[in-house]
Each structure stands twice: as structure tokens, then as C-alpha cells.
Structure 1
Amino acid sequence: MAGLKSPTIAISRWLDGLLRPLFNRLANETTILNGSQLVKQIEQWSAKYLTSTTSFITMDVTDLYTMIHQEGGIKTIRKLMDASNIKQIDGVKKEIILALARFVMTNNYFYLYGLYYKQIRGGAMGSPLTLTIANAYMYFVERPISKWAIITNSLYYRYIDDLFIMSNVYVDTLTGLVNYWNKLDININLSASIGHTAEYLDLKIENRDGSLISEVFHKASHESYFLPFTSVHAKHIKKNIPYAALVRAIRYSSSFDAFKREEAHIIVSLLLNKYPKDFYS
């Protein structure tokens, strides 16, 4: 069964420990880890290239984890190692890594209404190896996009299955390019949004006549609940929650009003989770 206690989870973690550093080194210039990192890159790019006509393009990959064929995932690992020009990692030969990865990918099962099912496409959600394979697969798919961004002085980054672009290329051309990029790989379907505003990860950003306006973004499904104050976790962990939220608000907010709106949201969330006043006053 796919899960934290499944027979394959230890192999998955071990393989992920071997392969993820390869991906991180290879994709360092086109991937981000969080919204704060993206804000920094946007500010650096905008200082040189931002105009009143600059557009944002956000693209989401539909069902990335389940759209990649299992054998395609194994081929991705081979390509990852070939691109890194290595035949073994920590003394483990490529053939053994591929064999173990195939075993993990093709042995995912789940139980529903009294019946057992075997997953025949994609990888198990939550499996460490699945994330690395999906990331590596997208790295090779996105090569034409990242090269185009360099040529056109556009900004391009990706977080797993979410793609972000800032560009001064005409909107009609961008629309045509998105259609072309949707044909790069039969397994990858991109749903795109192009305009002067964008909602990406936890960041909302707008190009208002050549000036960047940004604030924290909360999805419609967002709920103001996190670690309750009544939990048994250490006090320093609980203190870090409002601290991290306020730091994010400061980093994302382009105006004092935007910060105060997010600050009010944080306070309400803390109250809902039974945090005392001295945690945020």
C-alpha cells in the first residue's frame, strides 16, 4: 500500500536522497523554493526590464504526478544521471538505481470499498521519489521555455507544477507560445493565465502602469487554521507561527495598507486558534 508505512517507502526515501541533489544542481537556475525567493527575483528583474506593458504568465500542469507514465519516470532518472555525467552515486550503479526506482514506481496499491487496486500510471502522492521524478521530468520538458526566456530577457521560474513568467513580449505572441508549449510533451497539459496581474503560490502581484503592487495571496479554499495553541508542541514552535507570517507579510506587501490587511488576517487566525494576546501584541 502507498503510505508512510508502506514496504516501498524506505526505498523511495533512500532513492530520493541520492537523486534529489542531482536535480537541485541541474535545475538551480529555473526553480524556486517559495514565494519569498520569487519576490527577490522579480525585484531584481524589474529594476532593469519592467515596463507598463510587462505581462505575467502563470501556468499550471494538470495532474502532474499521475500524468507521467511509470516507464517515462524511469527514463527521466536515466536522463538526469546522464545530464549530470555520472554512472553511479555513492557507489551505487545506475542500473541498480533504475531497477529500484522501477520497483517503487510499479508497486503502488490502494484499498477502496473492499477492493485492492494497483496504480498503473504515475507515482504515489506523498512518496519522496515521486516528487523528484516529477520535478526532473518537468526540467526536461521546460528546457525550450527557459531557453526562450533567456533569449527574450524574460523572467522564468517553476515550483513543481506551477510555472511563472514575466515578459515584455506581445500578448498575442505569448498566447501563441503557450499553445506551442502545450505540444512539447503529450503527457503535460498547461492551463495558462496571461495579464497584468497574477496569483502565484502565496503571492498576488500586479503591474500597475509600470509599478509593481504585491501582497499575500490566500486561495478561496484557504482556512484560517494551523497549529492550535492548546497542542503539546514546544512554545518556541508556536511563537514561530506569527513571526513567520508577519515576516512574509512584510516581504510581500508593497504598501502599508496591504501589510495592515494581512496583519489583521494573521491576528484573526491566531484568535481562532486560541493564541493569547501576548503572542501577537
Structure 2
Amino acid sequence: YKSGEVCPERTFCIVLGVSLPGVCSIMTYEAGDIFCLLELCLKSTSFQFNGKFYRQTAGAPMGSPISPVIAEIYMEHYEDTVMRAIPLRPREFFRYVDDTFLIWPHGQDTIELFFTKLNSLNDSIQWTWERETNNELPFPVIRKIGTVDR
């Protein structure tokens, strides 16, 4: 990782380390053992493509059962870091996997600064945004059970 860039694996271990002592008190494993197993899961991923073997060098492996958990914990930490680092915050901020809904009460020029800060912490995580037009959201909205409007 570049100087100043956040390492997701390290951040996960830091975040997990805060809550891990309570968990470890009821388990037979030490925190260090869990960190070693986590590192093994995240750093020993390889795949074959067109007869050639590759090793994944960044991010959580796709398809691994641990990846959604790691991603969620990391993104919560990432969002908390951003929210503490900026003077203007959204009135509401909701994220589900890789979609985010927010209400920005501070004007169009300041929302661009918000996303610039959001995108400055990690080159691997880049956010884009779309504004509502004609009082309609730019993504599918469930109107009734079983129907989706565009």
C-alpha cells in the first residue's frame, strides 16, 4: 500500500482487536491465532486463467465466505473515518453493500468536496454519485410488493 493509504487487512485487525478480547475470553483461541488465520484466508488466494496461475495481491477474495464480513467491517470503519475527518456531514447516510443513499443539506458545491474527501483515503475504493432529477431517485425503487419502478 502507498504511504498514507489505508490497508483493509490492517484496519480490519485493528477494528476486530477492539472487540476481540471479549470474544476470545469465551473461546479457546488467542487473538493472535485468529489474526494469523485471517491473514491466511486473505493472502493465500490464487486462481487459474487461460492455463496460467495467478495470486491475488489485494482485497478480499471473491466467493470466500469471509469476504462479505471483512468488507462490511472495513467499510464501516472507512465511513466512520471519513465522517470524523470532514466538517460537513450528510443529514442521513445509509449503505447497503455497494449502494449508498444520503441526504445532503449543504448545497451542490460542498457535496463535490465531500466525495473528493471520500475518494482520497483509498485508491481502491472510489465513490460516484447521482443526484435526483424531477423528484425521482436514479435507481430502482420498490413501490409495492413484487414491483420495481425505474
- Residues 1:120 and 2:67 are matched in the alignment: no
Whether the 8 Å contact between 2:12 and 2:73 is mirrored in structure 1 is yes
Distance 1:144 1:135, change over 3 A: same
Shift of 1:112: 1.7
Name the residue aligned to 2:117. Answer: 180
Whether the 8 Å contact between 1:171 and 1:194 is mirrored in structure 2 is no
Where 1:169 maps in the other structure, the secondary structure is coil
Shift of 1:85: 6.0
TM-score scaled by length of structure 1: 0.43
Whether the 8 Å contact between 1:73 and 1:137 is mirrored in structure 2 is yes
Provide Cα deviations, 1:209-267, integer angstroms capped at 9, x if missing partner. Answer: xxxxxx55xxxxxxxxxxxxxxxxxxxxxxxxxxxxx6243xx7xxxxx6xxx9xxxxx
User: Structure 1 runs of 4+ off > 4 angstroms?
Assistant: 144-149
* Gapped regions of structure 2 (runs ≥ 5): 1-5
Higher-helix-fraction structure: 1
TM-score scaled by length of structure 2: 0.74
Tell me which of 16, 30, 33 is aligned to 1:81.
Answer: 16
- Residues 1:190 and 2:113 are matched in the alignment: no
C-alpha distance in 2 between matches for 1:184 and 1:159: 20
Provide Cα deviations, 1:99-137, integer angstroms capped at 9, x if missing partner. Answer: 011111122111222222221222221111111111111
Distance 1:99 1:152, change over 3 A: closer
Where 1:96 maps in the other structure, the secondary structure is helix
- Residues 1:143 and 2:41 are matched in the alignment: no
Q: Which residue type is aligned with residue 132 of structure 2?
A: G
Whether the 8 Å contact between 1:87 and 1:93 is mirrored in structure 2 is no
Where 1:199 maps in the other structure, the secondary structure is coil
Shift of 1:87: 5.8
Shift of 1:147: 5.6
- Residues 1:133 and 2:74 are matched in the alignment: no
Whether the 8 Å contact between 2:90 and 2:103 is mirrored in structure 1 is no
- More RCO (CA 8 Å, sep 6+): 1
Higher radius of gyration, 1 or 2: 1
Whether the 8 Å contact between 1:76 and 1:133 is mirrored in structure 2 is no
C-alpha distance in 2 between matches for 1:153 and 1:112: 43
C-alpha distance in 1 between matches for 2:83 and 2:146: 28
Within 5 Å, give how 1:222-261 maps onto structure 2: 247-249=145-147
Alignment RMSD, CA only? 3.1
Within 5 Å, give how 1:90-129 maps onto structure 2: 90-91=26-27, 92-129=29-66
* Gapped regions of structure 1 (runs ≥ 5): 1-70, 204-214, 217-245, 253-257, 263-281
Shift of 1:144: 4.5
* Identical columns (%): 20
Whether the 8 Å contact between 1:155 and 1:167 is mirrored in structure 2 is yes
Shift of 1:145: 4.8
Distance 1:148 1:171, change over 3 A: farther
Distance 1:109 1:187, change over 3 A: same
